[in-house]
Amino acid sequence: MSIAYTGDTGASPDLVELARDADLLIADATYVDAVPDRHAGNLSSAAEVGRYAALAGTRHVLLTHLWPGTDPTAAVVAARQGYAGPVDVAEPGLVLTVHR
């Protein structure tokens, strides 16, 4: 089992290598779609995470670090625009079973 994890990470092709063939990518998705210029390079969006996960061949995505008030369903929808695998949002008490 391999896990890749990001925290306060802006868009970077290095994320593809970090998550290459990972069973689970736990990634910050502070924003749903677009990251405001003031946070570019420091924070990610669910849409970006989905695109990177697809390029990396990641098997499962767990979105975390959503901005307070962000609709988790909207974040999942955004990630799935570029990624066809399973996507979940971190929440208290969440238990995941990751299949290899």
List of residues 6+ apart from 77 with CB closer than 8 A: none
Residue at 98 is within a domain: no
Residue at 39 is within a domain: yes
Q: What is the pLDDT of residue 44?
A: 94
Q: What is the pLDDT of residue 54?
A: 98
Residue at 100 is within a domain: no
Residue at 94 is within a domain: no
Domain residues for the domain of 63 are: 3-89
- Overall number of domains in the chain: 1
Q: What is the pLDDT of residue 84?
A: 97
Copy the structure tokens of residue 85.
């695998």
Q: What is the pLDDT of residue 97?
A: 84
Does the pTM of the predicted model rise above 0.75? yes
Q: What is the mean pLDDT of each run of 10 residues along the chain (100 residues)?
A: 92 92 96 93 95 97 95 98 97 86
Q: What is the pLDDT of residue 9?
A: 87
